Homo-oligomer: A and B are copies of this chain.
Amino acid sequence: MITHAHATTVALTGHLMDTGILARVLDDVLEYGGDYRIEQLDLGRQHEDESRALIQVRAEDAELLDRIVMRVQVHGANPVDPGTAITRPAPVDGVFPEDFYSTTNLDTFVRLDRDWLTVDRAEMDCGLVVEERDGRPFIRNVPVSDVRAGEAVVCGAHGVRVQMPPAVARGEEENFGFMSSAVSSEKPQALLVRQIAERMREVKAEGKRILWVGGPAVVHTGASPAMVRLVRAGYVDVLFAGNALATHDIESALFGTSLGVDLAKGSGVPHGHEHHIRAINTIRAAGSIAAAVESGILTGGVMHAMVEAGKPFVLVGSVRDDGPLPDVYTDVIEGQRAMRAQLPDVGFAIMVATMLHSIATGNILPAAVPLVSVDINPATVTKLADRGSAQAMGIITDIGLFLEQLARELAPE
| A95 and B319 contact, CB distance less than 8 A | no
Q: Encode contact with B along A376-399: 1 for CB under 8 Å, 0 otherwise.
A: 110100000011100000001110
**Inter-chain contacts of A62 with B (CB < 8 A):** none
| A322 and B363 contact, CB distance less than 8 A | yes
**Inter-chain contacts of A46 with B (CB < 8 A):** 35-37
Minimum C-beta distance from A125 to chain B (A):
4
Q: How many residues of A contact B (CB 8 A)?
A: 125
Minimum C-beta distance from A359 to chain B (A):
4
Q: Given the complex of chains A and B, what is the CA–CA distance between A388 and B320 in angstroms?
A: 13
| A36 and B47 contact, CB distance less than 8 A | yes
| A317 and B333 contact, CB distance less than 8 A | yes
> Which among B98, B334, B404 is the interface contact of A281 at CB below 8 angstroms?
B98
Residue in A46, A104, A189, A220 with the greatest tally of chain B CB atoms within 10 Å = A189
Q: Encode contact with B along A330-358: 1 for CB under 8 Å, 0 otherwise.
A: 11111110010000000000000000110
| A187 and B221 contact, CB distance less than 8 A | yes
Identity of the chain B residue whose Cβ is nearest the Cβ of A323 in the assembled complex: B144
Cβ-based interface call for A186 (8 A): yes
**Inter-chain contacts of A136 with B (CB < 8 A):** none
**Inter-chain contacts of A98 with B (CB < 8 A):** 281-282, 285
Q: Given the complex of chains A and B, what is the CA–CA distance between A22 and B71 in angstroms?
A: 24
Cβ-based interface call for A161 (8 A): no
Q: Given the complex of chains A and B, what is the CA–CA distance between A91 and B268 in angstroms?
A: 34
| B267 and A181 contact, CB distance less than 8 A | yes
| B38 and A285 contact, CB distance less than 8 A | no
Cβ-based interface call for A273 (8 A): yes
Q: Encode contact with B along A101-124: 1 for CB under 8 Å, 0 otherwise.
A: 011100000000000000000001
**Inter-chain contacts of A396 with B (CB < 8 A):** 376, 398
- Knowing A47-B36, A363-B322, the reply to whether A270 touches B31 (Cβ < 8 A) is yes
**Inter-chain contacts of A273 with B (CB < 8 A):** 74, 102-104, 124-125, 388
| A144 and B360 contact, CB distance less than 8 A | no
Minimum C-beta distance from A267 to chain B (A):
6
Q: Given the complex of chains A and B, what is the CA–CA distance between A188 and B156 in angstroms?
A: 32
Cβ-based interface call for A84 (8 A): no
| A388 and B271 contact, CB distance less than 8 A | yes
Identity of the chain B residue whose Cβ is nearest the Cβ of A43 in the assembled complex: B38
Cβ-based interface call for A80 (8 A): no
| B187 and A268 contact, CB distance less than 8 A | yes
| A188 and B43 contact, CB distance less than 8 A | no
Which of A229-237, A255-263, A300-308 forms part of the interface with chain B? A255-263
Cβ-based interface call for A290 (8 A): no
> Which among B27, B39, B74, B221 is the interface contact of A189 at CB below 8 angstroms?
B221
> Which among B91, B184, B266, B398 is the interface contact of A402 at CB below 8 angstroms?
B398
Cβ-based interface call for A205 (8 A): no
Residue in A274, A282, A324 with the greatest tally of chain B CB atoms within 10 Å = A274
Identity of the chain B residue whose Cβ is nearest the Cβ of A100 in the assembled complex: B281
| B272 and A71 contact, CB distance less than 8 A | yes
17 A–B contacts from the bound complex (CB under 8 Å): A19-B23, A38-B43, A38-B44, A71-B274, A95-B285, A98-B281, A177-B267, A178-B267, A185-B221, A188-B264, A189-B404, A272-B388, A317-B333, A319-B335, A319-B356, A324-B333, A401-B405
